[in-house]
Every structure is written in structure tokens, then in C-alpha cells.
Amino acid sequence: MSKIPVMEIFGPTIQGEGMVIGQKTMFVRTAGCDYSCAWCDSSFTWDGTGKHLITQMEPEDIWTKLKQLGGSGFRFVTISGGNPALIKNIDGLVDILKKNGIQIGLETQGSKWQDWFYKIDELTISPKPPSSRMITDFDRLDEIILRISRQNISLKVVVFNDEDYDYAKKIHQRYSEIPFFLQVGNDDCSTTDDDQLMMTLLNKYSWLIDKTMVDDEFQNVKVLPQLHTYIWGNKRGV
């Protein structure tokens, strides 16, 4: 038994955010999260509303499905959640992907450790700011960052307001050697008015840029939007 609870598998599409923004990639989204962020944009992975979508899959079957959907047109797979770091068995999937020459991207909030983190090519740790209503366990985070600090990793904090911005700065200063990304938060994960959503998000992106540019305490930082929301709004599975 090395099954993985899979929520959805889709692609090829682009990675819309973070350190590999724009990358052509397949997505494997796992079920379950130890957090319950106030603004979670994938709450269907943990709040019960997507329960009927969960399939327990062997790593080999996930690889078969990826090939079915993406053919030979991809070299990158993103594992997302929920929090994939809850799942020990992802190790098996990672090994199959590596064996087939596929690069792997993964994002997790930094609340749990897995040994297979060492094998991830592009690992993003994204601690959650106050607006999420989650509390960061900094001892745990310190330990995780220390273990993987020699890998190709990045830190990313989603910012909704001034308090989040201050939290982001604290994270950046605590781990100042790690490449740091600020990302605009999406307040409204349910609207289907894509044009309106985009204007709102662009305004917030502009606000975040303005703030960061005049802030001497953020000297080395990347400020990015979520590109996929500009293209597809809140639509899922693209």
C-alpha cells in the first residue's frame, strides 16, 4: 500500500505563480491540509466539499494518467494541495518522475517535514500570514528551512494587508539568504466576473509593488501576481 489521495490531475498548463512562474507543467493536486486558511483558494481539498473527487492512487497510476493527459509534451510536474507534505507516499511518485527525467515543483506551508523534500527540484515554502488566521510554528519552520537551505528553494508569502506585509518582512529577515517572493492575495475566490476580478487584483498588485519599492528593508525581493487568475479567473483545473 503506497497510495496517494489525489484530488485532481490536469495539464499541461502554466504555473501561474512563484519561483517557476510561466513554466509549462502538469499538476497533481493531493487531498488534505493541516491548515484551514481563511482565504484558502483550494478549500475543496480539505473542507469536505470535494470528498467525492478523491481517488486513492498508486504512484504508477498517477504517472500513467499524467502521460495520458500530457503525452510527451511536458518535462515538469507540480505537486500541489492541500498540503502534500502530509503524505509520506509521495516519495514513490517523486521517484517515478525523477526516473523519467521529469522536474518536480512543490509548495507547502512549512508545517510538516518529509524526507522526499530533498528530491524536489523547485521547492517553495509559503508560511501563512495573519490574515489566514493560522499561527506559524517558527521552531518547526526553522528546522525545515535549515535542512533544505542548500537546495533550490524559495520562500513565498501571500499578502492581503499591511499586517501580512509586516509578517512577510519578518520571514524575509529571519531567512535572509533564501530567495524571497511577495505575492498578491486573491480576496475573492468565488466571483465569476473575470474582468472585475482582474482589475481588483491588478490594483492590489500595484499597491504591493508601490509599498515594496520604497521600503529599504525589502532590498532583494520578487513581487509577483497570480498569472492564472488573470487568464482564467477563479476557474479550476486549468
Residues flagged as binding site: 14-16, 29, 33, 37, 39-42, 80, 82, 126-128
If one asks whether residue 20 binds its own copies (CB under 8 A), the answer comes out as yes
CA distance 165 to 215: 11
- Our CA angle for 150, 154, 155, nearest 5°, is 125
Q: Are 44 and 190 in contact (CB under 8 A)?
A: no
Measured from the CB atom, the residue of 108 and 229 that comes closer to its own copies is 229
Q: Work out the angle between the directed axes of helices 90-99 and 59-70 (0-180°, nearest 10).
A: 50
Site for its own copies in 85-144 (CB under 8 A): 103
* Residue recorded with cell 509599498: 211
Around Cβ 170, how many Cβ atoms within 10 Å? 15
If one asks whether residue 207 binds its own copies (CB under 8 A), the answer comes out as no
With CB cut-offs between 5 and 8 Å by kind, which of its own copies, ligand SF4, none does residue 130 bind?
A: none
Site for ligand SF4 in 32-71 (CB under 6 A): 33, 35-37, 40, 42, 45
Amino acid at position 141, single letter = L
Measured from the CB atom, the residue of 139 and 216 that comes closer to its own copies is 216
Around Cβ 65, how many Cβ atoms within 10 Å? 17
Among 60, 191, 202, 236, indicate the residue that binds its own copies (CB under 8 A). Answer: 202
Measured from the CB atom, the residue of 115 and 177 that comes closer to its own copies is 177
Burial of 115 (0-12, 13-18, 19+ CB in 10 A): exposed
With CB cut-offs between 5 and 8 Å by kind, which of ligand SF4, its own copies, none does residue 81 bind?
A: ligand SF4
Residue in 179, 201, 160, 212 with CA at minimum distance from that of residue 40:
160
Residues that bind ligand SF4 (CB under 6 A): 33, 35-37, 40, 42, 45, 81-83, 109, 128
Residues that bind its own copies (CB under 8 A): 11-14, 20-24, 71-76, 103, 181, 198, 202, 205-206, 209, 212-216, 218-225, 227, 230-231
